Amino acid sequence: MTKGLDRGFSRRGFLKAGTASLAAGMAGPGLIAATGRVVAQEPITLTFWTWIGHADEAVQLYEAAHPGIKVKLENVGGPPDYYIKLQNLIRAGSGLPDVGTMEYAYMPRFAPSGALINLSDYGADEVVSGYVPWAVKFLQYEGKQLGLPWDAPPLALIYRQDLVEQYGLELPTTWDALREQGRKLKAQTPDVHIINAEMGSGAWVTAHLVQGGWKPFALDGTNITIRINDDVARRFSDYWQSMIDEGLITTMASFTPEWYAGHDKGAYAFWSVGAWGANMFQFFVNESAGKWRVTPIPQWDPAHPLNASLGGAGYSAFTQSAHPKEAAELAIWMSSNIDVATMYNQHAGHFPVVKAVSSAPGFADVQLPQFGGQKTNPIYTEAVSQIDPNFQWSPFQDFVFVKIGEEVGAAANGERKLSEAFALLQDQIASYASDQGFTVTT
Amino acid sequence: MGSPSRRGSQHLRTTAIAYVFLLPLLLVFAAFVAAPLCYTFWISLFREAIVGGVRFVGAANYLRALGDASFWGGWVNVARYALAYIPILTVLALLIALLLDSGTIWRSSLFQAGLSLTYTVPTVIAAVIWSYLYGPRFGLLGQVARGAGFPAPDLYAPPVLPFSIANISIWQLTGYVMLLFYGALKAVPPELEEAAALDGARGWQYALHVKLPLIRSSIVLSLMFSTIGCLQLFAEPYLLRSNAPERIKNDFTPNMYSFWQAFGAHDYSYSAAISFVLGTLVLMIVAAFLALANRFGAASK
């Protein structure tokens, strides 16, 4: 009897091994076509991780169009915890979702891991020709399209119409003009600041440096040039240092209870943020509902207008997936579907990367209730065109963001001058890069 | 000649049976304590970089930890936190426990339940609650201060910060520690009070000279757990960090620094080495504390 059992097991084991090697040996288009019928009979469930609001609506649209596929939407937390989870699951070799959100700044960290599916193998190249080019580029690595973009969030100033009118402020077109308005405001009231500069947020500081033409990293294989403390950083430091010294601004971290209350209760006239700012309204706008408007980001040099992407994300499919083809197709669909992009724009102001959406008739006339019916899309359309497609993130951008937030934030709090923070950052980040095996040029 | 060997085999059998009963515990210990510890030590001997991958470095990570100002700076913060946290928590919990035990409190069980309610609040929620209260302009404490004509206190300022963090832990844990003390006080035989009263002791004298020495072991136990808790400080500052990332940096406590090295700087090996140094130091401090407590105990007897 024991013998029989043994034989049974080993035979089953042999059969299993045989099927596996057969599948591995023949995993070409022919097999996919042959097994397509079988796959269609059993509903596939794909897991999709994102923290972005309205994703449930996008999933409903997807499921309606794909009867054989169920999507399990999970919010496992936002950055940085989300990326810690991804990093751990890649190391563990299992547990990743089929598809997940991937921010532009984090792609260089995850691209070399081999955990991301090259979406070009599943038809990505056909859709990207109709995309905002810089967003496509941010998710490429060594000629592979390891993700497809979803939103293009350039900077703009979101402001309080009521406060601007009450204190007779003008909408600034240059950063100097913003400081002038800050002085005008301070002369009238101690209760309202012109703006809160989110110096403790590395992503915020980075975007505002990039908007001034900052190019801190140039990566060439394992050689990296790091120039953090350059003229752009010095201009940034001098400008915001004067704002701090004159008492025109506060510099607290964003999205804290204090930040939310301050922006709802009229403690700030302006808020500088990416196009996703409107999506944050759900978390704090109560008494200020309907009083917010949008105006373009002030420029350093109006003759050469620049913008930067604050955040910005796309979708990647993971090679761990049991259904790589379906996972890749889900990522591509979520990125390219016109109804989904339109939904995100009309519900939360997210600016689409799909040009078919942003050039469609009526797009410029979309009125967001968050902005009292203002037609904001034209502002962001122009802003998107001002982003430098050649900007390079570092391959350890999460580390860079945290260090910038700590050092620039501490300097803004009075520990030292902002300019000194950038000198420190240059040293810290260059030494981290060389610890990580890069050949560093400064 | 036959008898000792029989006794020997009997002894062997009893030992074997003992091990059979211990086996489940030993297996769990091996799987969830010993194996991870060994693995942690193993990876602490390597270095992993984005370029170049993994290589063996021997004790290099440990040498780096010994000279790392970020790592040792965290110990200063922990010490300042402990100086605020342990005395206030212990004294407060003792006072309340004595008060409840004195029988002068109406419906004392209500107070017990009420005071230990905060223990049921998860630390995550506690940190969120207090981050609302700590806001300088729109937080409750700031508003009260301004209402009374004072400037709003900056509760994240470096000298105040350890107290602001300790306050959250004290708020959460006083009720729990109080219950621990209260339980010990309940075990004090009531006839001692009569005897003390006959000897002319007042209420507070009885509490101080009779009750407190009798619950000494509970106090020592609580102090030991508080000390370990301080040395492993992580959750409260980690959660408050989003409110003031420029004040509560990633090296604020040794535990936070270890977490940051693994998940922020992606240096798992160095993180493992830090964990080992931290664990060893915690063990040594606790051993020293227990030795001290025992000597004091012997002296008082």
- Bridge partners, A307 (sequence order): A387
Distances (CA, A) of A144 to A137, A312, A316, A318, B70: 10, 19, 12, 14, 39
Q: What is the pLDDT along chain A (442 residues), one digit of tens a residue?
A: 333 333 333 334 333 433 333 333 333 333 344 444 444 457 899 999 999 989 999 999 999 999 999 999 999 998 888 999 999 999 899 999 999 999 999 999 999 999 999 999 999 999 999 999 999 999 999 999 999 999 999 999 999 999 999 999 999 999 999 999 999 999 999 999 999 999 999 999 999 999 999 999 999 989 999 999 999 999 999 999 999 999 999 999 999 999 999 999 999 999 999 999 998 999 999 999 999 999 999 999 999 999 999 999 999 999 999 999 999 999 999 999 999 999 999 988 899 999 999 999 999 999 999 999 999 999 999 999 999 988 999 999 999 999 999 999 999 999 999 999 999 999 999 999 999 999 999 9
Residues of A in contact with B136 (CB under 8 A): 258
Q: What is the spatial distance between Cα A358 and Cα A416, in angstroms, rounded to a whole number?
A: 44
What pLDDT, on the 0 to 100 scale, is given for residue A16?
40
pLDDT at A18: 37
Chain B nearest-CA residue for A263: B138
Closest-CA residue to B96 (of B174, B206, B207): B174
Interface test mutation site (partner A, options B246, B257, B269, max chain A beta carbons within 10 A): B246
- Residue A436 φ/ψ, nearest 5 degrees: -85, 10
- Taking the CA of residue A225 and the nearest CA in chain B, the distance in Å comes to 15
Chain A residues in contact with B263 (beta carbon < 8 A): 80, 84, 87-88
- Interface touch A257/B51, C-beta < 8 Å: no
Chain A, nearest residue to B49 by Cα: A436
Shortest alpha-carbon distance between residue A93 and chain B (Å): 16
Q: How many CA atoms lie within 13 A of B29 on its CB side?
A: 5
Q: What is the pLDDT of residue A80?
A: 83
| Chain A nearest-CA residue for B138 | A258
Chain B residues within an 8 Å CB radius of A199: 246
Pairwise CA distance, residues A132 & A104, whole Å: 13
What pLDDT does B11 receive? 82
A255 to chain B, any CB pair closer than 8 A? The answer is: yes
A72/A57 Cα distance (integer angstroms): 13
Compute the distance between CA of residue A11 and CA of residue A15 in angstroms, rounded to an integer: 6
Are A269 and A195 contacting, i.e. CB atoms less than 8 angstroms apart? yes
Instruction: Please check whether residue B213 touches A, CB under 8 A.
Output: no
Helices (H) and strands (E) in chain B, counts: 15, 2
Return the sign of the alpha-carbon dihedral for residues A393, A394, A398, A399. Answer: negative
Q: What is the pLDDT of residues A59-79, one digit of tens each?
A: 999 999 999 999 999 999 988
How many other CB atoms are there within 10 angstroms of residue A106's CB atom? 23
Mutate to test the interface with A, among B39, B48, B51 (most CBs of A within 10 A): B51
3 state DSSP class of B33: helix
B252 neighbourhood in chain A, CB within 8 Å:
none
Asked whether the beta carbons of residue B50 and residue A395 sit closer than 8 angstroms, the reply is: yes
Contacts 24+ apart (CB under 8 A), B174-177: B174/B89, B174/B92, B174/B93, B174/B96, B174/B115, B174/B118, B175/B93, B175/B112, B175/B114, B175/B115, B175/B116, B175/B117, B175/B118, B175/B119, B176/B116, B176/B119, B177/B89, B177/B90, B177/B93, B177/B222, B177/B226
| Residues in A touching B49 (Cβ below 8 Å) | 435-437
Which residues in chain B show pLDDT less than 70? 1-7, 297-301
Q: Which of B46, B47, B50, B250 to mutate to test the interface with A (most CBs of A within 10 A)?
A: B50
Rounded to an integer, what distance in angstroms lies between the CA atom of residue A407 and that of residue A399? Answer: 12
| DSSP H stretches of helix in A77-118 | 81-92, 107-110
Where is A22: in which H helix or E strand? Answer: helix A2-25
Beta strand segments in chain B, E: 46-49, 53-56
Q: Which ranges of A114-246 does DSSP label H, i.e. alpha helix?
A: 124-128, 133-138, 161-166, 175-188, 202-210, 231-245
Nearest-neighbour CA in chain A from B142: distance (Å):
11
Min CA distance, B97 vs chain A (Å)? 35
Nearest to B142 by CA among B162, B164, B126: B164
Closest CB to A258 among B50, B138, B249: B138
How much is the ipTM here? Answer: 0.86
Report the b/e string of B20-59 with b at 16+ CB within 10 A.
eeeeeeeeeeeeeeeeeeeebeebbbbbbbbbeeeeebee
Residue type, B278: L
Q: Do B264 and A412 touch (CB under 8 A)?
A: no
Question: What was the pLDDT predicted at A31?
Answer: 38
- Distance in angstroms (rounded) separating the CA atoms of residues B59 and B260: 20
Whether omega before A153 lies within 30 degrees of 0, making that bond cis, reads: no
Looking at residue B5, its pLDDT comes to: 62
Residues of chain B neighbouring A410 (CB-CB closer than 8 A): 246-247, 249
Nearest residue in chain A measured CA to CA from B239 = A256
pLDDT score for B300: 52
Q: What is the pLDDT of residues B153-174, one digit of tens each?
A: 999 999 999 999 999 999 999 9
Query: What is the pLDDT at residue B88?
Result: 96
Which chain B residue is nearest to residue A267, measuring alpha carbons?
Answer: B137
- Token pair in block for residue A126: 């056909």
